[in-house]
């Protein structure tokens, strides 16, 4: 139990450091890219290069994914203060959310199919 907790702590620290590096690089280089996206690209590069293997982050990432819904509570509470905006532009926001979600699902599905075709002999 204590070993698992220590793994979660140091792996979360590693994930956080990569995120902060992305935010730092975006600020220093004045990139038109969110810092969290830059951090994900850095982590992708680290994983594909083999400098970081999945076992280095799997315990913390599994823990974070398991409790993923918990991270949306502050966002949901914050949205309550935008009631007038939702009443005014709610339909437009709903259409944007549905289209972007459908687009994300479609691109992910096509990517998985493409990668599976490349893997099969």
The b-or-e profile of 18-49 (16+ CB within 10 A means b, else e) is bbeebeebbeeeeeeeebeebbeebbeebeee
- pLDDT per position as a tens digit, 40-52: 999 999 999 999 8
Task: Provide the pLDDT for residue 80.
Answer: 80
Using CA atoms, how far residue 110 sits from 30, 59, 92, 97, in Å, is 32, 28, 27, 20
Q: Compute the distance between CA of residue 17 and CA of residue 116 in angstroms, rounded to an integer.
A: 32
Residue 4 has pLDDT above 90, yes or no: no
pLDDT one-digit tens code per residue, 60-97: 988 988 888 887 788 778 778 888 888 888 899 899 99
Question: Is residue 118 pLDDT above 80, yes or no?
Answer: yes
- What is the predicted pLDDT for the residue at 75? 77
The DSSP symbol for 116 reads H
The structure tokens listed for 104 are 């994300």
In this prediction, residue 87 carries a pLDDT of 85
User: What is the predicted pLDDT for the residue at 48?
Assistant: 93
pLDDT in tens, 11-61: 999 999 999 999 999 999 998 889 889 999 999 999 999 998 888 989 998
Predicted local distance difference test score (pLDDT) of residue 82? 81
């Amino acid at each position: 139990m204590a070993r698992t907790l220590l793994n979660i702590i140091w792996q979360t620290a590693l994930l956080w450091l990569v995120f902060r590096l992305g935010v730092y690089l975006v600020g220093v280089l004045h990139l038109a890219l969110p810092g969290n996206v830059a951090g994900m690209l850095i982590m992708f590069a680290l994983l594909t290069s083999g400098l970081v293997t999945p076992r280095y982050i799997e315990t913390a990432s599994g823990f974070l994914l398991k409790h993923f819904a918990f991270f949306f509570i502050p966002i949901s509470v914050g949205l309550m203060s935008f009631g007038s905006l939702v009443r005014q532009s709610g339909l437009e926001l709903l259409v944007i959310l549905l289209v972007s979600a459908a687009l994300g699902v479609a691109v992910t599905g096509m990517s998985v199919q493409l990668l599976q075709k490349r893997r099969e002999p």
